[in-house]
Amino acid sequence: MTLDTTQQPFPPIEELLSSKGKIKILKVLSIFEELNISGIVRKAQLNHATTSQHLDYFKSIGIVEEKVFGRIKIYRLTPDDIKANVIKELIRTWGNGEG
């Protein structure tokens, strides 16, 4: 196991949940577990550039991980990260209704 020195310190909750786009992506990943970027874009109803930017941010703070299979990248909430698990539980508890 290598130490990831690129990971930023965890931001305040206000920054993490500062936009509807970020919340939509976290919600999609909480509900569907693992998706490629096209699936996230479709389900979150966001554009590709915004989704990619938010995913990069989430990866930089360690709550989303990316798995690469050739040219395909799959994203998921980091399973062994306590904060990612709390976010997932919050979204599942709150409900996954539309809107």
pLDDT band at 59 (very low <50, low <70, confident <90, very high): very high
Cβ neighbours around 48 below 10 Å, total: 11
**Is 44 within a domain?**
yes
Q: Which of 4-8, 28-32, 63-67, 72-76 has the lowest mean pLDDT?
A: 4-8
**Of 40, 1, 4, 3, which is closest to residue 22 (Cα–Cα)?**
40
**Is 4 within a domain?**
no
Number of structural domains, the chain?
Answer: 1
Tokens of 26: 């976290």
Cβ neighbours around 85 below 10 Å, total: 15
What is the tens place of the pLDDT at every residue in 86-96?
A: 999 998 888 75
**Is 1 within a domain?**
no
User: Does pLDDT of 24 surpass 50?
Assistant: yes
**Is 3 within a domain?**
no
pTM for the model stands at: 0.82
Range of the domain at 54: 13-94
Q: Which of 2-11, 26-35, 75-84 has the lowest mean pLDDT?
A: 2-11
**Is 70 within a domain?**
yes
CATH number for the domain harbouring residue 41: 1.10.10.10
